[in-house]
Amino acid sequence: MKLTGNTVFITGGGSGIGRGIAEALHNTGNKVIISGRRKSLLDEVTTANPGMGSLKLDIENASSIASASQTLIERYPDLNVVFNNAGIMQFDDAAGAIDENLLTSTITTNLLGPIRLTSALIEHLKKQKEAAVLYTTSWLAFTPFALTAVYCSTKAALHSYALSQRYKLRGTSVRVIEIVPPWTQTDMLNSTEEPRAIPLQECLDETMRLLGTDVDEVVLDRAKQLRNNVGPNEHPYVIEFNNWLLGVE
């Protein structure tokens, strides 16, 4: 992917990986617009990065997505990169009753939101000389963490959707790129101090380096074992991985 001269819209750009990539792209000569629900957080990021734009967006709300997409097209006619990064992760219990609010909000934010946003902007992107749609999935899309079963399922579904979309867009100017980060030191599940997680800056540096190549899947090194485990004999490693996360001997 070309890393300069783009007009980039990033969901979930107010914190964590989204903010880090937004700032990295801003600093390498791109026009960056971040979005999120909290205007105060967006203002904090744009103030720290003069020239960066923002647009309030509720990724759970279809009407908000439609309105924001129309505003983007009108305000930024050169928009050529859409980065679906916003996501939420909550503990659940697949062995019991799943809370309806958790189920609905996680699926709507992590799966329906990216599909709706990309759908609203795809015809505009096709008109650009070079364009890209990016999805942040997770290493857990391939080897799930059993205590966040709904989250992992949405990321697996988003991976599948990206594969289909990449096939359908072959021969167009639009590339589909999936970013597969490992456990990263962010606010998600209070992981900022987690020693087993990759430091945020290390995650950002590796992501940007790989984004500058021609790969369709930006699989960070620490995510490769989980990405490569998929197959008919994957279950033993699912058990091993979950035991490691939970400290089970």
d(CA 78, CA 100): 40
What pLDDT, on a 0 to 100 scale, did the predictor assign at position 63? 97
Q: Which two tokens stand for residue 229?
A: 């485990």
| Res. 171 pLDDT band, cuts 50 70 90 | very high
Residue 114 has pLDDT above 90, yes or no: yes
Total Cβ atoms within 10 A of residue 218: 23
Range in 93-97, 113-117, 191-195, 203-207 with the lowest mean pLDDT: 191-195
User: Are the beta carbons of 203 and 33 closer than 8 angstroms?
Assistant: no
Q: Which amino acid is at 96?
A: G
Query: Does some domain include residue 92?
Result: yes
**pLDDT(249) > 90:** no
Domain-embedded: residue 17? yes
Residue 2 lies in a domain: no
Specify if 106 maps to a domain.
yes
Please state, in angstroms and rounded to a whole number, the distance separating the CA atoms of residues 26 and 132. Answer: 16
- Per the structure, the count of domains in the chain is 1
pLDDT of residue 125: 98
Closest to 85 (Cα-Cα) out of 19, 156, 147, 184: 19
Total residue count of the chain as it appears in this document: 249
Mapping DSSP to helix (H, G, I), strand (E, B) and coil, where does residue 79 land? coil
Residue 181 lies in a domain: yes
The angle subtended at Cα 132 by Cα 73 and Cα 188, nearest 5°, is 95
Question: What sign results for the dihedral spanned by CA atoms 181, 218, 60, 35?
Answer: positive
What integer pLDDT is reported at residue 32 of this predicted model?
98
Say whether 110 sits in a helix, a strand or coil.
Answer: helix
Model pLDDT, residue 103: 98
Q: CA nearest 62: which of 133, 21, 25, 114?
A: 114
For 50-106, what is each residue's pLDDT tens digit?
A: 999 999 999 999 999 999 999 999 999 999 999 999 999 999 999 999 999 999 999
Q: What's the confidence (pLDDT) of residue 22?
A: 97
Residue 235 phi/psi, 5-degree rounding, is: -60, -40
Q: What burial letters (b/e) apply to 164-173, b meaning 16+ CB within 10 Å?
A: ebbeebeeee
Pairing of strands 53-56, 31-36: parallel
Catalytic one among 76, 151, 161, 237? 151
CATH code at 25?
3.40.50.720
Question: At 38, is the pLDDT very low, low, confident or very high (cuts 50, 70, 90)?
Answer: confident
The proportion of the chain whose per-residue pLDDT surpasses 90, expressed as a percent, equals 96
The answer as to whether 167 is a domain residue is yes
The answer to whether position 85 is within a domain reads yes
pLDDT for 37: 87
Q: Write down the pLDDT at residue 117.
A: 98
* 161 is a catalytic site residue: no
Question: 80 — phi, psi (to 5°)?
Answer: -135, 0
Mean pLDDT across 141-168: 98
- pLDDT value of position 207: 98
CA distance 58 to 51: 23
The domain containing residue 163 runs over which residues?
7-246
One-letter amino acid for residue 242 of the chain: N
Cα distance from N-terminal residue to C-terminal residue, the chain: 43
Q: DSSP H helical segments within the chain, as ranges? A: 16-27, 39-48, 62-75, 100-107, 113-126, 149-168, 200-211, 224-227, 235-246
Mean pLDDT throughout 168-175? 98
Beta strands 53-56 and 81-84, pairing class: unpaired
* Average pLDDT for the chain: 97
Bridge partners of residue 214, in order along the sequence: none
Say if 1 falls within a structural domain.
Answer: no
- 197 has pLDDT over 90: yes
